[in-house]
Amino acid sequence: MNRLETAIPGVVILEPKVFGDARGYFMETFSASRYEQVGVVGPFVQDNISFSQKGVLRGLHFQYPHGQAKLVQVMQGEVFDVAVDIRKGSPTFGQWVGAVLSAENHRQFFMPAGFAHGFCVLSVTAMFCYKCTDYYAPACEGGIAWNDPDIGIEWPIQNPQLSAKDAAYGRLKEYPSEKLPAYDGGVR
């Protein structure tokens, strides 16, 4: 497996080995011991799948407390996936990194807890899968506006389809500091 670093320490792109022939392919999508060797540490306790149409944007979501590290990948279609550092006190606070994930490139994107996450669908449809290190806790969920000008994400789509909740999120600088995770000097 290849581990590709991004501009934010701890946020990485993974390229699992894919074994293909005329029949199709085989790929190991997760093995705790193998992923620990490249710095992706769980335990992962919940798996989720979302299915969306072209132009849908989901995010930017996070939980605090009960933050979730996420290992994400696309099983069908293509998305542009984004992680935004929202850990107060972090040297990369408010910065983002993104990656194109697709069923063809088999890439996975890992972000530690303390990041807001979102993606937009580039293909006709996409099936998006993610592993989380903590359970979904509705009372702890938060969000940042997908188009926060201070963050400046360069989304590859115009006029995305948003849920009512995602459309109502405000800017990161307006988010109450006590409702954001703190940077602890490292990544997990």
| DSSP secondary structure of 20-46 | EETTEEEE----HHHHHHTT------E
Of 61, 64, 117, 169, which one is the catalytic site residue? 61
Query: Helix or strand or coil: residue 184?
Result: coil
Instruction: Compute the CA torsion angle 73, 76, 78, 80 (nearest 10 deg).
Output: -30
Integer Cα distance of 2 and 13 in angstroms: 8
Q: Is 130 a catalytic residue?
A: yes
Active site residue 106: no
Contact yes or no for 68/113 (Cβ under 8 A): yes
Spatial CA neighbour of 4 closest among 128, 139, 105, 132: 105
φ and ψ at residue 33, rounded to 5 degrees: -65, -40
* CB neighbourhood size of 157 (10 A): 14
Given 35, 64, 106, 130, the catalytic residue = 130
Ramachandran angles phi, psi of 22, nearest 5°: -60, -20
Give catalytic residues, as residue numbers: 61, 130
